[in-house]
Amino acid sequence: MPATWPPTRPPRTPSAAQDRRTRAEKLLALFMWHRDGPLVARSLGLSLDELHEQLDELKLRRKAYRLVRGSEFDLPMARALPGAPSGPPVRRRARPARIEPEQRAEPDPAAPPTEPASAEPASSRPPPRGPDVNAQAAQLLAVLAEVGPRRGALGARLGGPRHPLPERVLLARFRAAGLERELGQRERDLLRGLFARHRGATRAVAAELGVEPSALQRILRERGLTGEIDSLRERFRGEARRRRWPREQIEQLLRRRGWLDDLGIAAELEREVLSRARPAWERSGGALARLRRELRLSDADARALRDLLNRHA
């Protein structure tokens, strides 16, 4: 029997459709609550890539991230789930009976003063309010504007240089003030700018932030930037490989070896430069001036290339 193209998909059963609808509603509810993709992935115990796979399967990725980027007015109206039990009825407090002016009793001047009756007993009164959340948010925003979204600097500024706040305490304080999304967005912008400035060098970015490279990789995973930064580093690798021969490639290898090593292509470019420069070195007969003229190098670069060729002879 000839096969049909494109292959027909098996029909969806009502239970499968209901399961997809339930999963979609759960994911959208989590995005509405957290307003941050990495937080949704962490609450589900998934990686960000696995979360994106589920969103793509349900065709919800664009809709979910619209909820993240939108305002509170873009959220859909809450509605009761079918079949879910409703909560207890709301009981309104009864209004006190109105006393007409002619029914009010005249106060006795000889009677001792009494305290006004309270509408609620003392035991049912709410406890005194804690620190104002708005004041905390204003303080954190001022510190964030002063030192930037650098976790080490923020911890030292809020806890003191000798006893900086631990990272988990720092993030919890921003979360309690409702500024977790603000901190995350500023941190993403900072990381993008630093990786662009240092041309994808992870060690240079980690040194400027004052963290270890392993901690920087963890922050990139938390903020959902791993794929974006990997693409940026790959673009810089392509630019390094396309440098013109001979002068640009040789100068890049000799002067920016640490950057090439950070990108993971130093050994690859070294083999290519040595294979292409060795015939010129052999034609020069060991004369440094001739090698310098043929490859259009400076005196310092010609000597460094000669030493490199001798080490790998």
pLDDT, tens digit, 9 for 90 and up, residues 203-222: 999 999 999 999 999 999 99
Any domain includes 181: yes
Same domain, 139 and 222: yes
- Alpha-carbon distance of 292 to 80, in angstroms, equals 80
Same domain, 305 and 256: yes
Taking 50 as the threshold, does the pLDDT of residue 73 lie above it?
no
Same domain, 57 and 153: no
Same domain, 179 and 199: yes
Same domain, 172 and 212: yes
Taking 60 as the threshold, does the pLDDT of residue 97 lie above it?
no
Average pLDDT for the chain: 82
Any domain includes 120: no
Per-residue pLDDT, 122: 45
Any domain includes 118: no
Taking 80 as the threshold, does the pLDDT of residue 123 lie above it?
no
Same domain, 306 and 264: yes
Taking 60 as the threshold, does the pLDDT of residue 250 lie above it?
yes
Per-residue pLDDT, 197: 95
Same domain, 228 and 140: yes
Any domain includes 128: no
Q: Which of 192, 221, 237 is the last residue of a domain?
A: 237
Same domain, 65 and 147: no
Any domain includes 103: no
Per-residue pLDDT, 93: 55
Same domain, 233 and 264: no
Share of the chain above pLDDT 90, in %: 54
Any domain includes 108: no
Q: Which of 191, 212, 237 is the last residue of a domain?
A: 237
* Parent domain of 226: 133-237
Q: Residue 312: exposed, middle, or buried by beta-carbon count in 10 A (0-12, 13-18, 19+)?
A: exposed
- In this structure, the number of other CB atoms found within 10 A of the CB of residue 5 comes to 6
- The model's confidence at residue 119, banded by pLDDT at 50, 70 and 90, is very low
Same domain, 173 and 217: yes
Same domain, 145 and 232: yes
Taking 90 as the threshold, does the pLDDT of residue 264 lie above it?
yes
Taking 80 as the threshold, does the pLDDT of residue 132 lie above it?
no
- Alpha-carbon distance of 301 to 247, in angstroms, equals 9
Taking 60 as the threshold, does the pLDDT of residue 23 lie above it?
yes
Any domain includes 11: no
Taking 80 as the threshold, does the pLDDT of residue 304 lie above it?
yes
Per-residue pLDDT, 127: 44
Q: Which of 237, 253, 273 is the last residue of a domain?
A: 237
Per-residue pLDDT, 169: 93
> How many structural domains does the chain have?
3
Q: What mean pLDDT do residues 153-169 have?
A: 91
Any domain includes 250: yes
Same domain, 211 and 288: no
